[in-house]
Amino acid sequence: MEKIWKIKESGNLVDDSETSKYHRVILELLAKRGISDPAEVERFFNSSYERDILDPFLFSGMEKAVARITEAKKKKEKIAVFGDYDADGVTATIILVETLEQLGFEKVIYYIPDRQLEGYGLNIEAIEYLQKEKVKLIVTVDCGITNLEEVAKAQALGMDIIITDHHHVPEKIPEALAVINPHQKNSGYPFPDLAGVGVALKLAEALYQKINPEKKEQLKWALDLAAIGTIADCVPLQGENRVLAKYGLLVLSKTRRLGLQELFKVGSIQIDADNVPNARKIAFQVAPRVNAAGRMDHANMAYELIRETDRVKARDLALEVESKNQQRQKVTAEIAKQVRLLAGSSFKDKKFIFAENEHWPVGILGLVAGKIAEEFGKPTAILQKQAKEIVGSFRSIPTVDIMEMLEKCQELLIRFGGHSQAAGVRLLSENAKKFYEQMEKNINAELAGRELIPEIEVDLEIKPEDINWDLAMELKKLEPFGQGNEEPLFLMRRMAVMETKVVGNGNKHLKVQLRAENGGPKIFEAIGFRMGERKIPQNGEIIDLVFSLAEDEWNGNKKLQLTLVDFKKSI
C-alpha cells in the first residue's frame, strides 16, 4: 500500500549566539520537536545524571512503600518480587531483587508468571503459592495496577502488597498497601512516562537513600538493565527516560554481567567498552533475545542468564536463549504470513483486523499484531483460542487509543491492560463474537470520515549538498533515538538511480546507488531493508526518497549510507 509522506510543521527556530555552534539542520530538527529555547537546547545536548534524575520520594506512595519494606528487613520477613515476563519486567525484577540483596535483606525470592499458563499480572494460584512459601510482602514490578481480586486475596491470606507499575490506570485500582505508578493522577511524580524498570529503579533509589545512602552510587551499575527495559518497552525517550537510556547504554558497554557478555558473543552483537551500543541495537538485537525466553518458554531463563555468575553456565544459557530467539523469528514470520493473507482479503475494506487461531503461541501474538498494524495501518488484534477462553494482543495506530476502545466493552472481558498503542486481553470464548462486533463499532466510530492511508512523518526536506560527515556526527548528538525522540527522517527529491541490486539471504534487501538529477559530484549508497520484493527502480529513473542517515562500517572502512524508508518515482 502506497504511503503518504507528511513533512512535520516548522518549529520556532531561535537564532542565538549560544546555539550557533550547532548544525542548522540539527537546530531545525529540535525546533520541530518543540525544543528551541537556547537553554532547552543546551540541556538536551548536555544532560546530567545527577541533575536530571528526579527524587524518588516525589512519588506519593514511596514513603509508605519504603517504610513497609524496611519493616520487613527488621522482622526478617520473606519478600517476593513479582514481575512481568517481558524485557521490561525481567530487568525490573532483577534490579529490585539485587537491591534488596545488596541492602542486606535475607529472604528475597522472585516470581515471574508463565505467559502461556498464567498470563499477565498477578493470579490467584501464584498468590496461594507465595503464601505457602511463607511470603509476608509482595512487591510487584511492571504489573499489578489492574489486579483488584488478586490483591484482596493476598491481603486475606495475611500478605501485604506494594504495587509498582507504569501501565494505564483504571478507574478503580487495587487497595494495596502502597501504589507507585507515574500515571496516577495523584502520583506526585512530574514525569509520567517511566517504564516498569524505571519505576523499579526509583524504588531501589529510595531504599538506598533510606537504608544505606553511602552506597547509593553502586546502583549506577544497574543502569545497563534500566536501558534495556526502557528501550524495549518503547516508552518515550524524553526527559528522565532519555537520561536513563543515555547513561545506561554507557554502562552496558562495560557491563559486569557475564550473562549479557555471553549473550552478545553468541548473538554476534558488538557491544564492549570500545563499542557503546545505540538504542536501535538494543531494540532490534538485545531486547528481542531477552524477550524470546518468555515468548517461547519461560522468562525465568532470561532472568537466570542475566544473573548468572559462572561463565560456563552463562554460555549454556545464552545458547539456549539464542535458540529460542531463532525459533521465535521463524514462528512469527509464518504466522504473520497467514494473517497478512487474511488481512488483505477478509479485512480489506474494514478498519479493524481481528484474527484468532488455537495453534498460535501466546508469546508472539503481540509481535504479529505489531507487524500487521504497521503494514496495513489499521488497529489489529491477534488472539489464541484456548479451551474456554481467548487471550491475545492488540496493536494500534496513532489515531486510535486502543485502551479507550477496550474500556468501552470491558464488561465482555475477564482482564485487559496496557497502553494507548499496545494492550493485552483475556475473555470467554462465548463472548468473542460480541466483543469483536463491539470493538469494530467503537473503532469505526473513532475513525468515521477518515481514510486509513498509512503515513510516514518526515522531519525535514534536504538537498544532496547538506549530507556530509559533519551532519552525521551532529545527528549522533540527538541519540538515543526511540519513541518521542525518533531517528530523523529526511526527504530528498529528484535523485537519479545509477545502479540497483538485491542482496542478503533470500534477496531480501535492496541496494541503490544515487546521485542528484543534475549530475552533482556526490554518489550516495542507499540500503532498503526488506525491500527486495518491491518494484526495483531502473537505472536512469528519477526518484524521491525518504531515509535516515547512517554510518556504515565494513572491515574498518567507514562510509555514509542512506537507510531507505520509502521511495517513489518523481513526478
Check residue 506 and give left, alpha or beta (phi > 0: left; psi -120 to 50: alpha): left
Say what the pLDDT of residue 455 is.
82
Q: How far is CA 288 from the centre of its chain?
A: 10
Phi, psi of 506 (to 5 degrees): 75, 15
Say what the pLDDT of residue 76 is.
96
If one looks up domain 346-446 in CATH, what number appears? 3.10.310.30
Span 245-273, average pLDDT: 97
* Cell numbers representing residue 397 in the block: 495506530
How far apart, in Å, do the first and last CA atoms of the chain sit? 18
Q: Is the pLDDT of residue 1 over 70?
A: no
Check residue 484 and give left, alpha or beta (phi > 0: left; psi -120 to 50: alpha): left
Q: Identify the helix (H) or strand (E) that includes residue 252.
A: helix 239-253
Place of cell 483504571: 170
* Cell numbers representing residue 208 in the block: 538506598
If one looks up domain 52-253 in CATH, what number appears? 3.90.1640.30
With cut-offs at 50, 70 and 90, classify the pLDDT of residue 39: confident
How confident is the prediction for the chain on average, in pLDDT? Answer: 92
Q: What is the pLDDT of residues 325-383, one digit of tens each?
A: 999 999 999 999 999 999 988 898 899 999 999 999 999 999 999 999 988 889 999 99
Say what the pLDDT of residue 18 is.
58
CA angle 274, 275, 277 (to 5 degrees): 150
For 252-321, give the DSSP string: HHT---HHHHHHHHHTT---BTTB---HHHIIIIIHHHHHHHHHHS-THHHHHHHH---HHHHHHHHHHH
Q: What is the pLDDT of residues 58-116, one digit of tens each?
A: 999 999 999 999 999 999 999 999 999 999 999 999 999 999 999 999 999 999 999 88
If one looks up domain 456-569 in CATH, what number appears? 2.40.50.460
With cut-offs at 50, 70 and 90, classify the pLDDT of residue 562: very high
Q: Which of 117, 142, 131 is nearest to 80 (CA)?
A: 131
Domain boundaries, given as residue ranges, for the chain: 52-253, 346-446, 456-569
The larger pLDDT score, comparing residue 508 to residue 138, is at 138
Residue 353, amino acid: I
CA distance 360 to 398: 26
Q: What is the pLDDT of residues 161-181, one digit of tens each?
A: 999 999 989 889 999 999 999
Please, which residues bridge with residue 546 across strands? Answer: 491, 566
